[in-house]
Each structure stands twice: as structure tokens, then as C-alpha cells.
């Protein structure tokens, strides 16, 4: 059973497994797939997305790049970004590398491009090489000792792709920096996420201005953003850990497992238990208690 298009979003909170410095996964979505929901975010990982079929835009900080078939997008750790993908069939390989490893690689002569976000369009031969490496990486267990060297080779290859020019869209990057203290607090402790007033205080803003500016820049209210962040974390934990549904609900700050289940169903179109059954558990995760 294929997961609905929102269940494995291209942009979501990231929790790499202990001892696994790399995550790589293949995502395929069919003709019935709807346009992707925007969700401005940033990660503690370096992220490379290698597209097959795709149409839409990739936005990194204050520049927007058009996405065409076989494009790639790269974002260094902790840079805000978003993807707006058009409806219809699309596929990609998502590769995420822990921050320390990615930063070390970006310090290597000749790889300075990895210090900034970029979009590129490889020629057919380079695209085939990139996809061969990415498919190999996606087949490896997360903690395989070959995973990190292979991810580094993939990034070394990606920097040779011709870059795609981006269009400046706004001063959004600087504006979002004002909101980072609240978002950082949410990321560090999703269960103890601050309310709107406390979030505003963390950003040294009035509650009214914080709420208005957050909605303007992110496209949703602070409370909706907190809920979306928690639900995407939950979707990962359901597939990649052996935690029970109740434990996940309480760990992420939902008031009760039943309330978590209602919100999860509204967001993803299925219950947490059914969602967990759509894919086998990750190696080492255990069967999990529904």
C-alpha cells in the first residue's frame, strides 16, 4: 500500500537514528498526488534531493528556483527552505547527512558550493551517475559503514552539476531569523513547545506582532505550526521506532492518545495504527505496539 502524498513529506522535522549519520530514501508518488502543502522549515542535517519527474519550485532563504525533471536541490544545515510541488506524478531520492560530516566536507577545497543552498540541472550522463549512487545509498542499512563515504561521494559529484539561477523573492530570510528562537525551542523540546505569548517573548516581540508576522511569513499560525511539526515527527517515529502509539503521543506533547489519533487522521487520512502498517518497521526498530 502506497502512503498518501502527505505522509512522507519532502520537508519535515528530522531525527537521524543513533549511530546512523545518513538517511536516504526513495519516494514515488502517482498521478493522483495533489500539490504539496508549503511548510517553511530547516533541519540539523545537510539535505540533497535528486528528482526524477517533478514540476514546481524550490525556495531557499530568499531565492526561488524552478524545478524541472532531473533537477537537484541542496540545502546546508539550518537554512530555511521549502518545496512547492505541482500535482501529478513525481519522484525523488532524499539524502540527509549529519551536520558535522556535511560541514567538514564543505570545508574541503573545491567543495565550497556546499556552504550555500543551490539548485542544479545535471546533464543526462551526470544525472545517471548521481542516481546510481543515490539508489545504492538508499538500499544500504542506515548504520552501514559505507553509507557516509557513499553520501560524501554523492555530494562531491553533485557540485559538478550546472547551477540553475534563482529569483529573489523577498527579504524573508532575514525576517524569519527573528522567529528562530521560538522555532529552535520547539525543535529542542516538541512536547514542551511554548505557547504564542512565550514564543513571542523568546523572539523579543509583542504577542500580536509575533502572531501576525509568523502567519505572514510561514503561512500558518504558531499553534498550527507546532501541531504540524509534532505530527510529522510522529509519522517518522511510527515507522522508525518501536514506541507505542501512546508513548509517541505523550512524548510529543499531545494531551491524550485519542486526541493524537484524531489529529493524525485529519492530517494524513488514516489512523496511526494503519499508518504504521503501511510499511515494515525499520531495521532494529522492533515490531512496535499499536
Residue 111: which of 135, 146, 83, 76 has the closest Cα?
76
Looking at the structure, tell me whether residues 27 and 161 fall in a common domain: yes
Residue 284: which of 18, 15, 44, 23 has the closest Cα?
18
Q: What is the pLDDT of residue 38?
A: 65
Q: What is the pLDDT of residue 279?
A: 58
In a domain, 190, yes or no: yes
Rounded Cα gap, residues 280 and 83, in angstroms: 27
Range with the poorest average pLDDT among 19-23, 81-85, 160-164: 19-23
Range with the poorest average pLDDT among 4-13, 118-127, 134-143, 155-164: 4-13
Backbone angles phi, psi at 171, to 5 degrees: -90, 35
Looking at the structure, tell me whether residues 88 and 112 fall in a common domain: yes
CATH code where residue 85 lies: 2.60.120.280
Q: What is the pLDDT of residue 2?
A: 37
pLDDT tens digit sequence for 125-158: 999 999 999 999 999 987 788 999 999 999 999 9
* Domain final residue, candidates 148, 168, 188: 168
Burial (CB count within 10 angstroms: exposed 0-12, middle 13-18, buried 19+), residue 223: middle
- How much is the pTM? 0.66
* Domain final residue, candidates 108, 137, 168: 168
Our count of domains for the chain comes to 2
Average of per-residue pLDDT across 32-37: 86
Residues of the chain with pLDDT > 90, as a percent, come to 51
pLDDT tens digit sequence for 265-290: 988 888 999 888 875 544 444 434 33
Looking at the structure, tell me whether residues 143 and 182 fall in a common domain: no
- Residues of the domain holding 192: 178-277
3-state SS, residue 81:
strand
Looking at the structure, tell me whether residues 26 and 163 fall in a common domain: yes
Looking at the structure, tell me whether residues 32 and 164 fall in a common domain: yes
Looking at the structure, tell me whether residues 164 and 97 fall in a common domain: yes
Backbone angles phi, psi at 124, to 5 degrees: -55, -40
Q: What is the pLDDT of residue 171?
A: 60
Looking at the structure, tell me whether residues 142 and 225 fall in a common domain: no
* CB-based contact 127:53 (threshold 8 Å): no
CATH code where residue 224 lies: 1.10.10.60
Q: Helices then strands (H, E): number in the chain?
A: 11, 9
Which residues are CB-neighbours of 128 under 8 A, at least 6 positions away?
none
In a domain, 154, yes or no: yes
Residues of the chain with pLDDT > 70, as a percent, come to 86
Looking at the structure, tell me whether residues 113 and 211 fall in a common domain: no
Looking at the structure, tell me whether residues 192 and 259 fall in a common domain: yes
Amino acid at each position: 500500500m502506497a502512503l498518501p502524498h502527505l505522509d512522507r513529506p519532502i520537508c519535515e522535522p528530522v531525527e537521524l537514528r543513533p549511530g546512523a549519520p545518513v538517511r536516504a530514501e526513495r519516494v514515488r508518488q502517482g498521478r493522483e498526488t495533489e500539490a504539496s502543502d508549503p511548510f517553511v522549515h530547516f533541519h540539523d542535517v545537510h539535505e540533497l534531493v535528486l528528482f526524477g519527474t517533478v514540476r514546481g519550485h524550490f525556495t531557499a532563504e530568499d531565492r526561488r528556483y524552478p524545478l524541472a525533471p532531473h533537477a537537484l536541490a541542496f540545502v546546508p544545515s539550518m537554512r530555511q527552505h521549502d518545496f512547492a510541488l505541482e500535482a501529478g506524478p513525481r519522484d525523488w531520492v532524499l539524502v540527509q547527512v549529519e551536520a558535522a560530516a556535511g560541514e567538514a566536507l564543505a570545508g574541503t577545497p573545491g567543495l565550497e558550493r556546499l556552504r550555500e543552498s543551490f539548485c542544479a540541472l545535471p546533464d543526462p550522463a551526470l544525472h545517471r551517475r548521481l542516481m546510481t549512487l543515490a539508489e545504492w545509498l538508499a538500499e544500504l542499512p542506515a548504520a552501514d559503514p559505507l553509507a557516509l563515504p557513499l553520501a560524501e561521494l554523492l555530494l562531491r559529484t553533485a557540485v559538478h552539476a550546472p547551477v540553475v539561477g534563482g529569483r529573489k523573492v523577498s527579504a524573508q530570510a532575514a525576517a524569519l531569523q527573528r522567529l528562530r528562537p521560538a522555532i529552535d525551542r520547539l525543535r529542542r523540546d516538541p512536547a514542551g513547545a511554548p505557547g504564542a505569548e512565550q514564543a513571542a517573548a523568546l523572539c523579543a516581540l509583542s504577542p500580536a506582532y509575533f502572531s501576525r508576522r509568523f502567519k505572514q511569513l510561514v503561512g500558518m499560525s504558531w499553534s498550527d505550526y507546532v501541531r504540524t511539526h509534532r505530527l510529522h515527527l510522529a509519522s517518522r517515529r511510527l515507522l522508525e521506532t518501536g514506541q507505542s502509539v501512546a508513548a509517541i503521543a505523550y512524548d510529543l506533547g499531545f494531551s491524550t492518545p485519542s486526541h493524537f489519533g484524531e489529529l493524525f487522521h485529519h492530517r494524513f487520512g488514516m489512523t496511526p495504527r494503519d499508518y504504521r502498517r503501511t510499511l515494515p518497521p525499520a531495521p532494529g526498530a522492533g515490531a512496535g505496539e499499536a
